[in-house]
């Protein structure tokens, strides 16, 4: 018999995080703890208002299957009980952690990939004036991988400012669905000129059919349009890359399947995150080990993180301390 506990937590940010849809000053997360004997498994998710989720609705989804979890529901069972999204992510990751504790076998041993190695993660320049964005980019260093948050209001000025401040950095541009097709077409020469690696989800999900047949000068990556394996058939006609986020897939189980299927279809792969604590990042690092690009800087925005979480050493993200998760 398992004991199931959920919680809602708020983690203040050190500085505001701005994207085209709004500004965050707090990371709100839902946690799931599964206790079986002396073994404990933990998971965390970040409900996403973009998909109609709140911390209350996600906690209610978990509560609705608490009986099944107490009776021993497996990860496969949970995939049938909950849709892809934040609730399933927290539960799925808690089950991976619990199984590792019960079996004395790490998640890395189960996947066959071993413990995640340090990775270079993108560092985000949040939406602001070009001057402030340039200052933030300059502080990140010449060798950084920088993700630039923009909207439809003069994105060219923001991108130019960041490139001038960090001439040696690699750049990702993320409009968070705020562009339209005329803007995307018009900005292509600039993206090429400023050596942008790729653009992430420029158009709204559900309004991206116009990308079919579009000859983009830099790759376009699906984020909000990509959730699970079943999405890839349509995406293959519109995008060259996909962003795998556990809060969209519904946990590590589906994320591993999506990674494999994306590779079979020759997609480039990015692993991303929400603004969260390291408890969300630890499972995602197992995807990062096989991704082309890593964007897991969510905990770096917090005023404080969970003890023993990820750390940055010589510009690379290092997995949490042993025993933290998995």
Residues catalogued as catalytic: 149, 245
Annotate 286-314 with b (16+ C-beta within 10 A) or e (fewer): bbbbebebbbbbbbbbbeebbeebbeeee
Angle, CA of 86, 149 and 238, to the nearest 5°: 70
Q: Distance between CA 27 and CA 226 in Å, rounded?
A: 23
| Segments of 164-296 assigned E as strands | 170-174, 196-200, 220-222, 241-244, 268-271, 293-294
- Coil/strand/helix, residue 293: strand
Pairing of strands 145-149, 123-125: parallel
Neighbouring CB atoms inside 10 A of 165's CB total 20
- Element at 117 (helix H, strand E): none
Contact 240, 219 (CB under 8 A): yes
Contact 174, 201 (CB under 8 A): yes
- Coil/strand/helix, residue 41: strand
Q: Which residues contact 234 (CB under 8 A, 6 or more apart)?
A: none
SS (H, E, C) 307-319: CCCCEEECCEEEC
Q: Would you put residue 237 in left (φ > 0), alpha (ψ -120 to 50) or beta?
A: alpha
């Amino acid at each position: 018999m398992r004991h199931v506990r959920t919680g809602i937590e708020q983690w203040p940010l050190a500085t505001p995080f701005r994207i085209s849809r709004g500004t965050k000053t707090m990371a709100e997360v839902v946690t799931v703890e599964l206790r079986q004997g002396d073994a404990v498994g933990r998971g965390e998710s970040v409900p996403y208002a973009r998909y109609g989720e709140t911390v209350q609705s996600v906690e209610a989804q978990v509560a609705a299957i608490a009986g099944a979890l107490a009776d021993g529901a497996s990860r496969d069972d949970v995939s049938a009980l909950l849709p892809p999204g934040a609730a399933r992510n927290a539960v799925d990751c808690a089950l991976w952690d619990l199984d590792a504790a019960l079996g004395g076998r790490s998640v890395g041993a189960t996947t066959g990939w071993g413990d995640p190695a340090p990775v270079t993660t993108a560092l985000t320049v949040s939406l602001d004036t070009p001057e402030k964005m340039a200052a933030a980019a300059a502080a990140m260093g010449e060798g950084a991988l920088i993700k630039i948050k923009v909207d439809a209001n003069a994105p060219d000025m923001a991108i130019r400012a960041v490139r001038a401040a960090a001439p040696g950095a690699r750049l990702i541009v993320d409009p968070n669905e705020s562009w339209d097709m005329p803007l995307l077409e018009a900005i292509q020469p600039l993206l090429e000129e400023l050596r942008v690696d790729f653009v992430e989800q420029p158009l709204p999900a559900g309004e991206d059919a116009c990308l079919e047949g579009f000859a983009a000068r830099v790759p376009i990556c699906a984020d909000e349009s990509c959730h699970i394996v079943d999405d890839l058939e349509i995406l293959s006609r519109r995008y060259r890359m996909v962003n795998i986020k556990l809060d969209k897939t519904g946990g590590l189980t589906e994320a591993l399947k999506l990674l494999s299927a994306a590779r079979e279809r020759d997609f480039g792969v990015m692993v991303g995150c929400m603004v969260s604590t390291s408890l969300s990042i630890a499972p995602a690092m197992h995807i990062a080990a096989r991704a082309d690009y890593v964007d897991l800087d969510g905990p770096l925005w917090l005023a404080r993180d969970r003890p023993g979480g990820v750390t940055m050493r010589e510009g690379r993200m290092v997995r949490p301390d042993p025993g933290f998760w998995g």
